[in-house]
Amino acid sequence: MYQAHCAKFARMKRIIVPFISILLGMACSGSSGDSSDEVQLELNRAKTLWSASGIDSYSLRFRRSCFCLPSATLPVLIEVTDGELTSVSNEATGAIIDMAEWKNFLTVDEIFEEIQKAVNLGADSIHVEYSPEFGYPKTVSIDYIEAAADDEVSYFTELVGDAR
């Protein structure tokens, strides 16, 4: 009977110890980025500044960094007309990117949406640098789950022209 209790305790220990370790890890981990309130406030300010700039047609250098297909991380030049993506070209060669790949490249408004999604989902870390003049996101780094690998995404942009 003693051996049966010991075996039962050992099985419970194998289940409970990892569970408690996970809970303690979650309790001890905090956001390595700004608080979601601060991120939301800055996002709102930047969106207001971007909207006030009146820029809805522009050229944007865009690069994504993530654990994804190489075609999604290609540095490109994006052309936006009246808020809609109208052209994407390889920044190094000037070659036009096939429309089937355009889903990998974001307009300023779509980058704002990605930041908002990260805030709404409670990403562990969100770091954004906005253009002080126009409010568009220049660099964005999002880590949804700090302890997970390969869930991070970053965006790098530079406004290179506009046709207000």
pLDDT (tens, 9 = 90+) of the chain, 164 residues, equals 545 544 554 444 444 333 333 333 333 333 345 688 999 999 999 999 999 999 999 999 999 888 877 777 788 999 999 999 999 999 999 999 999 999 989 999 999 999 999 999 999 999 999 999 999 999 999 999 888 887 789 999 999 965 55
Report CA dihedral (109, 110, 116, 122) to the nearest 10 degrees. -160
> Which pTM value belongs to this model?
0.75
Q: Phi first, then psi: give them for residue 129, nearest 5 degrees.
A: -115, 125
